[in-house]
Structure 1
């Protein structure tokens, strides 16, 4: 991986991390339970429960993505072979690194 590509990846990761750090608190608010004494109606309460389930899934995915991005940035700083396939040694395409920052394999070797 060239220094330019490494810089591009780190910039992308920093932007993603900043967005996730903003999104996670918002999602955390959405998963808070509604007090039973709130008079929102039975249907609205059921709708709220469904929305909370969706928000919990999004929150979980956001936290995992954030951890993976942070680890990838650390590897990009520390590992000279970051961005190279651990199997064949060929460069991993930038699009793949952006989609799956934790990957250590190119598309062909991952299959």
Structure 2
């Protein structure tokens, strides 16, 4: 991997981290429980429960992705960054730009 590719991937990781942090805060805010004494109605409360579970799943996914991106950013300077942990082949730059937290090539990930 060239230094230009590494810098491009590093910038992509930082950009994605900056995008995810406010999204995580937004999801944390909207997944707060509604107090039982708030008069929002039975149907609205059920709708809120369903939406809350969907948003909690999105929050979990975002938090997990953030952790992966932060780890990838820390490893970006490592000479082994961009090398598949399974087969040792170089992970294509396009895959790392799409999913910088990838530790495996497409073949091994399948």
Normalising by structure 1, we get a TM-score of 0.88
Q: Can you list the C-alpha shifts for 1:60-103, whole angstroms capped at 9, x where unaligned? A: 000000000000011112x1121123454432112322444333
Q: Which residue of 1 aligns with 2:65?
A: 65
Structure 2-normalised TM-score? 0.89
What residue number does 1:50 align with?
50
Question: Gapped runs of 5+ residues in structure 2?
Answer: none
1:13 and 2:13 matched? yes
* Alpha-carbon distance in 2 for matches of 1:110, 1:58: 22
Let me know the Cα RMSD of the aligned residues. Answer: 1.6
The count of residues paired between Structure 1 and Structure 2 equals 110
- Structure 1 moving runs of 4+ over 4 Å: none
Residue in 1 that maps onto 2:24: 24
Q: Structure 1: any 5+ residue segments left out of the alignment?
A: none
Q: For residues 88 and 4 of structure 2, what CA distance do their matches in structure 1 show?
A: 19
Q: For 1:42 and 1:93, how far apart are their aligned partners in 2? A: 52
Task: Give the stretch that moved more between structures: 88-97 or 53-62.
Answer: 88-97
